[in-house]
Amino acid sequence: MKFQTPVNYDPVLSVRDTQEAIKYIRDTFQREFGKEMGLSRISAPLFVTRKSGLNDNLNGIERPVSFDIQELPEERIEVVQSLAKWKRYALKKYGFKLHEGLYTNMNAIRRDEVLDNLHSVYVDQWDWEKVIAKNERTEETLEATVRTIFKVIKHMEHEVWYKYPEAVCHLADDVFFITSQELEDLYPELSVKEREDAIVKDKKCVFIKQIGWPLKRSKHPHDGRAPDYDDWNLNGDLLFYLPSLDRALEISSMGIRVDEDSIITQCQASHCEGRLTLPYHQMIQKKELPYTIGGGIGQSRLCMLLLNKAHVGEVQASIWPDQMIEECGKHHITLL
């Protein structure tokens, strides 16, 4: 367990007012986001079969929650860790055309998460995916999409200010772009998280590009990325400054997805060549799936940001260690 103690924290809103604000933010954001991005809402699975290869392996070490079911005794069923792969398959299955896309509510359980102010065993986010042309697999496409998402989040600041002026968190006016290598070069002596905090304190909203490949100085990636969904040259994380904790808060991880070449290169670099034989991976190599861009936007984290909360447990119901519950109580943090 990790816990960051907020300084002179005042939650402003009562628990019941916070619950009302959470519903307002979630309802309003998904409506505006879907409209601005041209996305249709669809239903998504809570679990998939292991053999499908559709579950997200995240960093490759997290254990998915798995179980069997009576009617399929030979199958191992896994609770999704994200919908990164499933969404691309769904675009093909449901016949989405060029520049059409989908979004869905994703709920997951990440049993190996290290719990702190920002991380919970329960994950809730808007997962989205959009069909693009192969010649649109560029940094220009990525940055334009990031700016659209930033615009919707910035608009939400004004929406929340109108209803909860005493509680709203005021955001940056623009998003700053930097690659993970440029960030390491800028702060060579700092750890990854210290680098993120430093650049976000300075710029207030930052998109860190190109996450996955080892960096020159540390010889390690800026952050772990599965080799079989994002193209590591065309992806990144969107971070905002969170005043209540005086640190960076990641709101979205997104990217242009692997094509028939980059999936092989990245799986080989990660020593995961065995995945290339799975049905999903074969479809990519055979060009049977559309080229896409997609990502996830944390629902609870967006509520945290817009209401300047100091703990994700203030905006979602989960399970926490007794010690953390006790510490939160000392600092006016009410966990749901």
**3 belongs to a structural domain:** no
- Identify the domain containing residue 91 by its residue range: 15-330
Residues ≥6 apart with Cβ < 8 Å to 282: 276
Q: Which tokens belong to 322?
A: 């007794």
Q: What is the pLDDT of residues 45-80, one digit of tens each?
A: 888 888 877 777 666 677 888 898 888 888 888 888
pLDDT tens digits in sequence order for the chain, 336 residues long = 688 889 888 888 899 999 999 999 999 999 999 999 999 999 988 888 888 777 776 666 778 888 988 888 888 888 887 788 889 989 999 999 999 999 999 888 888 888 999 999 999 999 999 999 999 999 999 999 999 999 999 999 999 998 998 888 899 999 999 999 999 999 999 999 999 999 999 999 999 999 999 999 999 999 988 898 899 999 999 999 999 999 999 999 999 999 999 999 999 999 989 889 988 899 999 999 999 999 999 999 999 999 999 999 999 999 999 999 999 998 889 998
Residues 134, 140, 146, 147, CA torsion sign: negative
**26 belongs to a structural domain:** yes
Distance CA 109, CA 218 (A): 31
Residue 37's nearest CA partner among 168, 121, 145, 115 is 145
Check residue 84 and give its pLDDT. 80
What pTM was computed for the model?
0.91
**10 belongs to a structural domain:** no
Residues ≥6 apart with Cβ < 8 Å to 267: 227, 228, 273, 275, 276, 281
**281 belongs to a structural domain:** yes
**124 belongs to a structural domain:** yes
Q: What is the CATH number of the domain that holds 100?
A: 3.30.930.10
Number of domains the chain is built from: 1
Check residue 108 and give its pLDDT. 87
Residues known to be catalytic: 56, 110, 125, 237, 250, 253
- Determine phi and psi for 39, rounding to 5 degrees: -115, 145
Check residue 116 and give its pLDDT. 92
**Furthest-apart CA pair in the chain: how many Å?**
57
Check residue 137 and give its pLDDT. 97
Check residue 1 and give its pLDDT. 60
Residue 281 β-bridge partners: none
Residue 250 β-bridge partners: 239
Distance CA 266, CA 92 (A): 23
Q: What is the pLDDT of residues 228-256, one digit of tens each?
A: 889 999 999 999 999 999 999 999 999 99
Q: How many CB atoms lie within 10 A of CB 8?
A: 7
**7 belongs to a structural domain:** no
**336 belongs to a structural domain:** no
**6 belongs to a structural domain:** no
